[in-house]
Structure 1
Amino acid sequence: MEMLHYSLKRVFIILFLLIFSQACQEKSFNPQDPADVFARASEPYEDGLYDIALQKLGEFRSRFPYSKHTTQAELMMANCHYELGNYQEAAFAYEQFVKLHPRHPKVDFALYRVGESYWIEAPEDIDREQDFTQKALTEWETLVNRFPNSQYSTDAKSKIKLGKKRIADSQVFVMNFYCKQERFHSCAYKALIILDKYKDFTDIRKQALKQAARSFAKLANQKAEDPESDKNVYVRSMSLKELQDKAATFKRLSEAS
Protein backbone atom coordinates (compact mmCIF):
# COMPACT_ATOMS: atom_id res chain seq x y z
CA MET A 1 0.00 0.00 0.00
CA GLU A 2 2.79 2.33 0.95
CA MET A 3 4.57 1.48 -2.33
CA LEU A 4 1.40 2.31 -4.32
CA HIS A 5 1.08 5.63 -2.50
CA TYR A 6 4.72 6.43 -3.33
CA SER A 7 4.23 5.56 -7.01
CA LEU A 8 1.12 7.73 -7.32
CA LYS A 9 2.89 10.60 -5.63
CA ARG A 10 5.78 10.27 -8.06
CA VAL A 11 3.42 10.27 -11.07
CA PHE A 12 1.68 13.43 -9.82
CA ILE A 13 5.04 15.16 -9.36
CA ILE A 14 6.14 14.27 -12.91
CA LEU A 15 2.83 15.46 -14.37
CA PHE A 16 3.09 18.70 -12.42
CA LEU A 17 6.62 19.31 -13.69
CA LEU A 18 5.58 18.62 -17.29
CA ILE A 19 2.61 20.97 -17.06
CA PHE A 20 4.72 23.61 -15.33
CA SER A 21 7.46 23.27 -17.97
CA GLN A 22 4.93 23.58 -20.79
CA ALA A 23 3.37 26.62 -19.16
CA CYS A 24 6.77 28.25 -18.82
CA GLN A 25 7.51 27.59 -22.48
CA GLU A 26 4.20 29.09 -23.56
CA LYS A 27 4.80 32.07 -21.31
CA SER A 28 8.30 32.65 -22.70
CA PHE A 29 7.15 32.46 -26.35
CA ASN A 30 6.95 35.91 -27.95
CA PRO A 31 4.87 35.94 -31.16
CA GLN A 32 6.52 39.23 -32.14
CA ASP A 33 10.06 37.87 -31.81
CA PRO A 34 11.33 36.46 -35.15
CA ALA A 35 13.66 34.05 -33.33
CA ASP A 36 10.80 32.58 -31.30
CA VAL A 37 8.47 32.34 -34.29
CA PHE A 38 11.17 30.72 -36.43
CA ALA A 39 11.94 28.20 -33.71
CA ARG A 40 8.25 27.32 -33.45
CA ALA A 41 7.90 27.08 -37.25
CA SER A 42 10.96 24.79 -37.41
CA GLU A 43 9.53 22.19 -35.02
CA PRO A 44 7.45 20.26 -37.61
CA TYR A 45 10.43 20.37 -39.99
CA GLU A 46 12.64 18.73 -37.39
CA ASP A 47 9.93 16.11 -36.82
CA GLY A 48 9.71 15.32 -40.55
CA LEU A 49 6.23 16.81 -40.92
CA TYR A 50 7.19 18.60 -44.12
CA ASP A 51 3.72 19.58 -45.29
CA ILE A 52 3.02 21.37 -42.00
CA ALA A 53 6.54 22.80 -41.93
CA LEU A 54 6.07 24.23 -45.43
CA GLN A 55 3.01 26.13 -44.26
CA LYS A 56 4.55 27.36 -41.00
CA LEU A 57 7.83 28.42 -42.58
CA GLY A 58 5.94 30.20 -45.35
CA GLU A 59 3.96 32.12 -42.77
CA PHE A 60 7.16 33.05 -40.98
CA ARG A 61 8.76 34.30 -44.20
CA SER A 62 5.71 36.43 -44.95
CA ARG A 63 5.68 37.98 -41.48
CA PHE A 64 9.43 38.52 -41.16
CA PRO A 65 10.87 38.91 -44.68
CA TYR A 66 13.99 40.74 -43.41
CA SER A 67 14.79 38.50 -40.44
CA LYS A 68 18.20 36.88 -40.28
CA HIS A 69 16.34 33.56 -40.07
CA THR A 70 14.42 34.05 -43.32
CA THR A 71 17.23 32.75 -45.53
CA GLN A 72 17.35 29.53 -43.53
CA ALA A 73 13.56 29.28 -43.72
CA GLU A 74 13.69 29.56 -47.53
CA LEU A 75 16.22 26.74 -47.77
CA MET A 76 14.15 24.61 -45.41
CA MET A 77 11.06 25.24 -47.54
CA ALA A 78 12.94 24.05 -50.63
CA ASN A 79 13.93 20.94 -48.67
CA CYS A 80 10.28 20.40 -47.72
CA HIS A 81 9.24 20.40 -51.38
CA TYR A 82 12.04 17.94 -52.16
CA GLU A 83 11.14 15.59 -49.29
CA LEU A 84 7.46 15.72 -50.28
CA GLY A 85 8.32 14.72 -53.84
CA ASN A 86 7.35 18.09 -55.32
CA TYR A 87 10.48 18.11 -57.46
CA GLN A 88 9.61 20.87 -59.91
CA GLU A 89 8.58 23.13 -57.03
CA ALA A 90 11.78 22.14 -55.23
CA ALA A 91 13.91 22.98 -58.27
CA PHE A 92 12.31 26.42 -58.51
CA ALA A 93 12.75 27.05 -54.76
CA TYR A 94 16.42 26.05 -54.82
CA GLU A 95 17.00 28.17 -57.95
CA GLN A 96 15.46 31.17 -56.20
CA PHE A 97 17.63 30.53 -53.17
CA VAL A 98 20.80 30.58 -55.31
CA LYS A 99 19.61 33.71 -57.14
CA LEU A 100 18.77 35.61 -53.95
CA HIS A 101 21.71 34.42 -51.84
CA PRO A 102 24.64 33.78 -54.22
CA ARG A 103 27.24 34.02 -51.42
CA HIS A 104 25.46 31.76 -48.94
CA PRO A 105 27.66 28.87 -47.69
CA LYS A 106 25.05 26.33 -48.83
CA VAL A 107 24.80 27.50 -52.43
CA ASP A 108 26.68 24.37 -53.52
CA PHE A 109 24.08 22.19 -51.81
CA ALA A 110 21.25 24.18 -53.42
CA LEU A 111 22.80 23.83 -56.90
CA TYR A 112 23.19 20.11 -56.36
CA ARG A 113 19.56 19.80 -55.29
CA VAL A 114 18.34 21.75 -58.34
CA GLY A 115 20.09 19.18 -60.50
CA GLU A 116 18.76 16.30 -58.40
CA SER A 117 15.20 17.60 -58.67
CA TYR A 118 15.36 17.78 -62.46
CA TRP A 119 17.19 14.45 -62.66
CA ILE A 120 14.46 12.64 -60.74
CA GLU A 121 11.82 14.12 -63.06
CA ALA A 122 13.78 13.24 -66.22
CA PRO A 123 12.67 10.11 -68.11
CA GLU A 124 15.16 7.29 -68.52
CA ASP A 125 13.58 6.17 -71.79
CA ILE A 126 15.67 7.44 -74.70
CA ASP A 127 12.62 7.83 -76.94
CA ARG A 128 11.34 10.68 -74.76
CA GLU A 129 12.39 14.33 -74.55
CA GLN A 130 15.41 14.88 -72.33
CA ASP A 131 14.87 18.53 -71.39
CA PHE A 132 14.96 17.79 -67.66
CA THR A 133 18.12 15.74 -68.07
CA GLN A 134 19.78 18.68 -69.79
CA LYS A 135 18.62 21.06 -67.06
CA ALA A 136 20.10 18.76 -64.43
CA LEU A 137 23.43 18.68 -66.29
CA THR A 138 23.48 22.46 -66.60
CA GLU A 139 23.07 22.88 -62.84
CA TRP A 140 25.65 20.24 -62.00
CA GLU A 141 28.16 21.68 -64.44
CA THR A 142 27.68 25.07 -62.77
CA LEU A 143 28.22 23.41 -59.40
CA VAL A 144 31.43 21.68 -60.52
CA ASN A 145 32.79 24.86 -62.12
CA ARG A 146 32.01 27.11 -59.16
CA PHE A 147 32.73 24.66 -56.36
CA PRO A 148 35.18 22.03 -57.65
CA ASN A 149 36.11 20.98 -54.10
CA SER A 150 32.55 20.74 -52.81
CA GLN A 151 31.46 17.42 -51.35
CA TYR A 152 28.55 17.50 -53.79
CA SER A 153 30.71 17.93 -56.90
CA THR A 154 32.03 14.37 -56.81
CA ASP A 155 28.57 12.85 -57.17
CA ALA A 156 27.59 15.53 -59.69
CA LYS A 157 30.53 14.61 -61.94
CA SER A 158 29.50 10.96 -62.12
CA LYS A 159 25.90 11.89 -62.87
CA ILE A 160 26.98 14.35 -65.57
CA LYS A 161 28.57 11.42 -67.44
CA LEU A 162 25.40 9.36 -67.11
CA GLY A 163 23.28 12.29 -68.25
CA LYS A 164 25.39 13.00 -71.31
CA LYS A 165 25.21 9.34 -72.33
CA ARG A 166 21.43 9.35 -71.89
CA ILE A 167 21.05 12.47 -74.07
CA ALA A 168 23.45 11.05 -76.66
CA ASP A 169 21.45 7.80 -76.83
CA SER A 170 18.31 9.86 -77.24
CA GLN A 171 19.86 11.75 -80.15
CA VAL A 172 20.91 8.46 -81.75
CA PHE A 173 17.33 7.21 -81.43
CA VAL A 174 16.07 10.29 -83.30
CA MET A 175 18.81 9.99 -85.93
CA ASN A 176 17.94 6.35 -86.62
CA PHE A 177 14.24 7.20 -86.79
CA TYR A 178 14.91 9.80 -89.48
CA CYS A 179 16.97 7.32 -91.47
CA LYS A 180 14.26 4.66 -91.25
CA GLN A 181 11.78 7.23 -92.54
CA GLU A 182 14.27 8.02 -95.36
CA ARG A 183 14.47 11.64 -94.25
CA PHE A 184 18.16 11.66 -95.03
CA HIS A 185 18.75 15.40 -94.67
CA SER A 186 17.41 15.21 -91.08
CA CYS A 187 19.40 12.06 -90.40
CA ALA A 188 22.59 13.70 -91.66
CA TYR A 189 21.92 16.80 -89.59
CA LYS A 190 21.46 14.74 -86.39
CA ALA A 191 24.56 12.70 -87.16
CA LEU A 192 26.67 15.85 -87.45
CA ILE A 193 25.34 17.15 -84.11
CA ILE A 194 26.18 13.84 -82.43
CA LEU A 195 29.68 13.82 -83.91
CA ASP A 196 30.23 17.36 -82.64
CA LYS A 197 28.81 17.01 -79.13
CA TYR A 198 29.19 13.35 -78.20
CA LYS A 199 32.35 12.20 -79.92
CA ASP A 200 33.77 10.91 -76.62
CA PHE A 201 31.36 7.94 -76.72
CA THR A 202 33.05 5.51 -79.10
CA ASP A 203 30.01 3.35 -79.89
CA ILE A 204 27.79 6.37 -80.48
CA ARG A 205 30.42 8.04 -82.68
CA LYS A 206 30.64 4.93 -84.84
CA GLN A 207 26.86 4.81 -85.32
CA ALA A 208 26.79 8.49 -86.26
CA LEU A 209 29.60 8.07 -88.78
CA LYS A 210 27.77 5.18 -90.47
CA GLN A 211 24.52 7.07 -90.68
CA ALA A 212 26.27 10.22 -91.91
CA ALA A 213 27.99 8.24 -94.67
CA ARG A 214 24.72 6.59 -95.68
CA SER A 215 22.71 9.81 -95.55
CA PHE A 216 25.12 11.88 -97.63
CA ALA A 217 25.38 9.06 -100.17
CA LYS A 218 21.57 9.06 -100.50
CA LEU A 219 21.55 12.85 -100.77
CA ALA A 220 24.17 12.64 -103.50
CA ASN A 221 21.95 10.22 -105.40
CA GLN A 222 19.02 12.64 -105.07
CA LYS A 223 21.21 15.43 -106.41
CA ALA A 224 22.37 13.30 -109.33
CA GLU A 225 18.79 12.37 -110.22
CA ASP A 226 17.55 15.96 -110.01
CA PRO A 227 20.38 18.55 -110.12
CA GLU A 228 17.95 21.44 -109.79
CA SER A 229 16.09 20.04 -106.80
CA ASP A 230 15.62 22.19 -103.73
CA LYS A 231 14.12 19.31 -101.76
CA ASN A 232 16.28 19.93 -98.70
CA VAL A 233 19.03 22.19 -97.46
CA TYR A 234 21.93 19.87 -98.33
CA VAL A 235 20.78 19.13 -101.87
CA ARG A 236 20.03 22.82 -102.37
CA SER A 237 23.25 24.25 -100.92
CA MET A 238 25.88 21.63 -101.83
CA SER A 239 27.17 20.42 -105.17
CA LEU A 240 27.03 16.77 -106.20
CA LYS A 241 30.78 16.43 -105.69
CA GLU A 242 30.59 17.98 -102.22
CA LEU A 243 27.89 15.51 -101.22
CA GLN A 244 29.86 12.59 -102.63
CA ASP A 245 33.02 13.74 -100.85
CA LYS A 246 31.11 14.00 -97.55
CA ALA A 247 29.78 10.48 -97.97
CA ALA A 248 33.24 9.12 -98.81
CA THR A 249 34.88 10.89 -95.88
CA PHE A 250 32.36 9.62 -93.34
CA LYS A 251 32.53 6.10 -94.78
CA ARG A 252 36.32 6.10 -94.43
CA LEU A 253 36.13 7.37 -90.85
CA SER A 254 33.46 4.81 -90.02
CA GLU A 255 35.54 1.91 -91.32
CA ALA A 256 38.60 3.17 -89.45
CA SER A 257 36.81 3.56 -86.10
Structure 2
Amino acid sequence: MYYLKWILVGALAGAVACAESPGSTDQAAAQAAAPGPGMVWIETPGGGFWMDATEVTTGEFATFIAATSYLTEADSFGWSGVFSTEQQAWLPVEGANWQYPLGPDQPMALPEQPVTQVSLKDARAYASWAGKRLPTEAEWMLAATQGGQHTDFPWGEEMLPGGKYLGNWWQGPFPFADEVLDGFPGIARVKQFPAAANGLYDMAGNVWEWTATERAATAENVIKGGSFLCSTSYCTGFNLQQKQYTAKDSGLNHLGFRCVAG
Protein backbone atom coordinates (compact mmCIF):
# COMPACT_ATOMS: atom_id res chain seq x y z
CA MET A 1 0.00 0.00 0.00
CA TYR A 2 1.13 3.48 -0.67
CA TYR A 3 2.04 5.29 2.48
CA LEU A 4 2.63 8.89 3.20
CA LYS A 5 4.81 10.96 5.47
CA TRP A 6 4.96 14.67 5.59
CA ILE A 7 7.17 17.65 6.18
CA LEU A 8 6.00 21.19 6.55
CA VAL A 9 8.65 23.72 5.68
CA GLY A 10 9.37 25.94 8.70
CA ALA A 11 9.98 29.66 8.82
CA LEU A 12 13.73 29.14 9.16
CA ALA A 13 15.81 27.47 6.49
CA GLY A 14 16.43 23.89 7.42
CA ALA A 15 13.85 23.91 10.21
CA VAL A 16 11.82 20.96 9.06
CA ALA A 17 10.06 18.13 10.80
CA CYS A 18 11.02 14.96 9.01
CA ALA A 19 9.84 11.37 9.12
CA GLU A 20 12.25 9.27 7.04
CA SER A 21 12.72 5.68 6.11
CA PRO A 22 15.91 4.41 7.76
CA GLY A 23 19.01 4.71 5.60
CA SER A 24 17.29 6.59 2.78
CA THR A 25 19.96 9.17 1.95
CA ASP A 26 18.52 9.94 -1.48
CA GLN A 27 15.15 10.62 0.09
CA ALA A 28 16.72 12.84 2.75
CA ALA A 29 18.52 14.83 0.07
CA ALA A 30 15.29 15.30 -1.87
CA GLN A 31 13.46 16.47 1.23
CA ALA A 32 16.24 18.90 2.10
CA ALA A 33 15.87 20.54 -1.31
CA ALA A 34 12.46 22.04 -0.56
CA PRO A 35 11.37 24.27 -3.47
CA GLY A 36 9.84 26.86 -1.16
CA PRO A 37 7.84 27.49 2.01
CA GLY A 38 4.37 26.15 2.63
CA MET A 39 4.80 22.80 0.90
CA VAL A 40 4.16 19.27 2.16
CA TRP A 41 6.29 16.23 1.31
CA ILE A 42 4.23 13.38 -0.17
CA GLU A 43 6.16 10.13 -0.03
CA THR A 44 5.74 7.25 -2.48
CA PRO A 45 7.52 3.88 -2.60
CA GLY A 46 9.63 5.19 -5.48
CA GLY A 47 10.43 8.57 -3.97
CA GLY A 48 8.01 11.42 -3.50
CA PHE A 49 7.08 14.97 -4.39
CA TRP A 50 6.21 18.26 -2.76
CA MET A 51 2.69 19.69 -2.80
CA ASP A 52 1.43 23.13 -1.84
CA ALA A 53 -0.26 22.93 1.55
CA THR A 54 -3.01 25.23 0.28
CA GLU A 55 -4.49 26.25 -2.99
CA VAL A 56 -2.58 29.10 -4.63
CA THR A 57 -4.00 32.30 -3.18
CA THR A 58 -5.01 35.53 -4.87
CA GLY A 59 -2.12 37.24 -3.09
CA GLU A 60 0.39 34.74 -4.44
CA PHE A 61 -1.06 35.03 -7.93
CA ALA A 62 -0.86 38.83 -7.70
CA THR A 63 2.88 38.53 -7.02
CA PHE A 64 3.22 36.45 -10.19
CA ILE A 65 1.25 38.99 -12.24
CA ALA A 66 3.33 41.88 -10.91
CA ALA A 67 6.58 40.07 -11.71
CA THR A 68 5.64 38.93 -15.22
CA SER A 69 2.84 41.23 -16.50
CA TYR A 70 1.06 38.02 -17.49
CA LEU A 71 -2.42 38.40 -19.03
CA THR A 72 -4.87 35.69 -18.01
CA GLU A 73 -7.22 34.16 -20.53
CA ALA A 74 -10.23 35.72 -18.77
CA ASP A 75 -8.59 39.13 -19.10
CA SER A 76 -7.84 38.41 -22.74
CA PHE A 77 -11.41 37.29 -23.45
CA GLY A 78 -12.89 40.17 -21.45
CA TRP A 79 -15.29 37.93 -19.54
CA SER A 80 -15.58 34.68 -17.58
CA GLY A 81 -18.19 32.37 -16.09
CA VAL A 82 -19.82 33.24 -12.76
CA PHE A 83 -22.49 31.27 -10.95
CA SER A 84 -25.45 33.50 -10.05
CA THR A 85 -27.28 32.38 -6.93
CA GLU A 86 -30.06 34.81 -7.82
CA GLN A 87 -30.62 33.44 -11.32
CA GLN A 88 -29.46 29.95 -10.30
CA ALA A 89 -27.35 29.55 -13.41
CA TRP A 90 -23.86 30.08 -14.83
CA LEU A 91 -23.59 33.43 -16.60
CA PRO A 92 -20.92 35.06 -18.76
CA VAL A 93 -19.89 38.16 -16.83
CA GLU A 94 -17.89 40.91 -18.51
CA GLY A 95 -14.81 41.91 -16.57
CA ALA A 96 -14.82 38.84 -14.28
CA ASN A 97 -11.20 37.85 -13.66
CA TRP A 98 -8.81 36.69 -10.96
CA GLN A 99 -9.03 40.03 -9.14
CA TYR A 100 -12.81 40.36 -9.45
CA PRO A 101 -14.02 36.75 -9.72
CA LEU A 102 -17.70 37.77 -9.49
CA GLY A 103 -17.34 40.75 -11.83
CA PRO A 104 -16.00 44.31 -11.57
CA ASP A 105 -19.07 45.58 -9.72
CA GLN A 106 -18.50 43.04 -6.93
CA PRO A 107 -15.85 43.05 -4.16
CA MET A 108 -12.25 42.18 -4.98
CA ALA A 109 -10.99 38.75 -4.01
CA LEU A 110 -9.19 38.74 -0.67
CA PRO A 111 -5.44 37.99 -0.77
CA GLU A 112 -5.97 34.93 1.45
CA GLN A 113 -8.65 33.41 -0.77
CA PRO A 114 -7.82 30.75 -3.34
CA VAL A 115 -7.31 32.42 -6.69
CA THR A 116 -10.06 31.57 -9.19
CA GLN A 117 -10.96 32.53 -12.76
CA VAL A 118 -7.71 30.92 -13.93
CA SER A 119 -7.57 28.62 -16.94
CA LEU A 120 -5.32 25.60 -17.32
CA LYS A 121 -2.88 27.76 -19.29
CA ASP A 122 -2.91 30.38 -16.52
CA ALA A 123 -2.30 27.79 -13.80
CA ARG A 124 0.58 26.28 -15.75
CA ALA A 125 2.10 29.72 -16.35
CA TYR A 126 2.10 30.41 -12.60
CA ALA A 127 3.50 26.97 -11.81
CA SER A 128 6.34 27.37 -14.31
CA TRP A 129 7.20 30.81 -12.92
CA ALA A 130 7.27 29.33 -9.39
CA GLY A 131 9.49 26.41 -10.47
CA LYS A 132 6.67 23.94 -9.97
CA ARG A 133 4.03 22.11 -12.00
CA LEU A 134 0.43 20.91 -11.76
CA PRO A 135 -0.19 17.51 -10.15
CA THR A 136 -1.50 14.59 -12.14
CA GLU A 137 -4.82 13.16 -11.02
CA ALA A 138 -2.96 10.17 -9.55
CA GLU A 139 -0.62 12.41 -7.56
CA TRP A 140 -3.53 14.52 -6.35
CA MET A 141 -5.41 11.42 -5.20
CA LEU A 142 -2.36 9.93 -3.48
CA ALA A 143 -2.00 13.11 -1.44
CA ALA A 144 -5.72 13.62 -0.76
CA THR A 145 -6.33 10.03 0.39
CA GLN A 146 -3.35 10.09 2.74
CA GLY A 147 -1.49 7.54 0.67
CA GLY A 148 -4.58 5.43 0.02
CA GLN A 149 -5.65 5.21 3.67
CA HIS A 150 -9.03 6.85 3.05
CA THR A 151 -11.52 6.37 0.27
CA ASP A 152 -13.95 9.27 0.49
CA PHE A 153 -12.51 12.21 2.43
CA PRO A 154 -9.03 13.41 3.45
CA TRP A 155 -9.93 12.94 7.11
CA GLY A 156 -11.60 9.50 6.88
CA GLU A 157 -14.74 7.81 5.64
CA GLU A 158 -17.35 9.92 7.45
CA MET A 159 -18.48 13.13 5.78
CA LEU A 160 -19.21 14.77 9.14
CA PRO A 161 -17.10 13.14 11.85
CA GLY A 162 -18.63 14.04 15.19
CA GLY A 163 -21.15 16.17 13.30
CA LYS A 164 -18.45 18.68 12.31
CA TYR A 165 -17.87 20.19 8.88
CA LEU A 166 -14.23 19.86 7.88
CA GLY A 167 -14.61 21.51 4.48
CA ASN A 168 -16.50 24.23 2.65
CA TRP A 169 -19.44 23.10 0.51
CA TRP A 170 -23.13 23.84 -0.02
CA GLN A 171 -25.57 22.58 2.63
CA GLY A 172 -29.15 22.27 1.45
CA PRO A 173 -30.87 21.77 -1.91
CA PHE A 174 -28.62 23.24 -4.60
CA PRO A 175 -29.05 25.86 -6.03
CA PHE A 176 -32.09 26.98 -4.09
CA ALA A 177 -30.86 27.51 -0.54
CA ASP A 178 -27.51 27.24 1.23
CA GLU A 179 -27.99 26.62 4.95
CA VAL A 180 -24.34 27.68 5.58
CA LEU A 181 -23.84 25.08 8.29
CA ASP A 182 -20.09 25.15 7.61
CA GLY A 183 -19.97 28.89 8.34
CA PHE A 184 -19.19 30.09 4.80
CA PRO A 185 -21.87 31.23 2.33
CA GLY A 186 -19.32 31.23 -0.52
CA ILE A 187 -15.59 30.90 -1.02
CA ALA A 188 -13.48 30.81 2.16
CA ARG A 189 -9.96 31.95 2.88
CA VAL A 190 -7.43 29.13 2.94
CA LYS A 191 -6.78 27.30 6.22
CA GLN A 192 -10.25 27.90 7.67
CA PHE A 193 -10.64 24.18 8.36
CA PRO A 194 -8.19 21.78 10.04
CA ALA A 195 -5.42 20.33 7.93
CA ALA A 196 -5.51 16.66 7.04
CA ALA A 197 -3.05 14.33 8.76
CA ASN A 198 -0.37 15.04 6.15
CA GLY A 199 -0.66 18.81 6.49
CA LEU A 200 -2.72 19.59 3.38
CA TYR A 201 -5.64 22.04 3.61
CA ASP A 202 -8.91 22.17 1.68
CA MET A 203 -8.47 19.06 -0.45
CA ALA A 204 -12.24 18.62 -0.13
CA GLY A 205 -14.41 21.64 -0.88
CA ASN A 206 -13.79 25.38 -1.27
CA VAL A 207 -12.62 25.37 -4.92
CA TRP A 208 -12.10 22.73 -7.58
CA GLU A 209 -8.46 22.20 -8.51
CA TRP A 210 -6.90 21.75 -11.92
CA THR A 211 -4.83 18.63 -12.58
CA ALA A 212 -2.46 17.90 -15.44
CA THR A 213 -4.48 14.83 -16.44
CA GLU A 214 -6.31 15.16 -19.75
CA ARG A 215 -9.31 13.34 -21.15
CA ALA A 216 -8.06 13.04 -24.70
CA ALA A 217 -11.47 12.26 -26.21
CA THR A 218 -12.79 15.72 -25.31
CA ALA A 219 -9.53 17.67 -24.82
CA GLU A 220 -10.66 18.52 -21.29
CA ASN A 221 -8.70 18.20 -18.05
CA VAL A 222 -9.64 16.52 -14.80
CA ILE A 223 -10.48 18.77 -11.87
CA LYS A 224 -10.66 17.41 -8.33
CA GLY A 225 -11.80 18.31 -4.82
CA GLY A 226 -15.18 19.93 -5.29
CA SER A 227 -16.11 23.47 -4.31
CA PHE A 228 -18.38 25.68 -2.23
CA LEU A 229 -21.06 25.05 -4.89
CA CYS A 230 -21.05 21.26 -4.44
CA SER A 231 -23.77 19.65 -2.33
CA THR A 232 -25.11 16.24 -1.47
CA SER A 233 -28.09 17.02 -3.70
CA TYR A 234 -25.93 17.91 -6.70
CA CYS A 235 -22.33 16.92 -7.54
CA THR A 236 -20.84 15.80 -4.17
CA GLY A 237 -17.49 16.85 -5.65
CA PHE A 238 -15.96 17.10 -2.18
CA ASN A 239 -16.00 13.30 -2.08
CA LEU A 240 -12.56 12.22 -3.29
CA GLN A 241 -14.03 9.64 -5.64
CA GLN A 242 -15.77 12.33 -7.68
CA LYS A 243 -14.20 14.29 -10.50
CA GLN A 244 -15.20 16.54 -13.33
CA TYR A 245 -13.75 17.38 -16.71
CA THR A 246 -13.41 21.02 -17.69
CA ALA A 247 -12.41 22.81 -20.89
CA LYS A 248 -8.82 24.02 -20.74
CA ASP A 249 -9.75 27.67 -21.26
CA SER A 250 -12.34 27.69 -18.45
CA GLY A 251 -11.98 30.21 -15.66
CA LEU A 252 -15.04 30.10 -13.35
CA ASN A 253 -15.35 31.49 -9.85
CA HIS A 254 -15.14 28.09 -8.15
CA LEU A 255 -12.03 26.73 -9.91
CA GLY A 256 -8.45 27.16 -8.70
CA PHE A 257 -5.30 25.06 -8.35
CA ARG A 258 -2.32 24.06 -6.26
CA CYS A 259 1.13 23.06 -7.42
CA VAL A 260 3.61 20.24 -6.89
CA ALA A 261 7.36 19.96 -7.36
CA GLY A 262 9.72 17.05 -7.73
- Give the TM-score category using the shorter length: under 0.3
User: Which protein, 1 or 2, shows the higher relative CO under an 8 Å CA cutoff with sep ≥ 6?
Assistant: 2
What's the TM-score once normalised by structure 1's chain length? 0.20
What's the TM-score once normalised by structure 2's chain length? 0.20
Q: Which has the larger radius of gyration?
A: 1
Higher strand proportion, which one? Answer: 2
Higher helix proportion, which one? Answer: 1
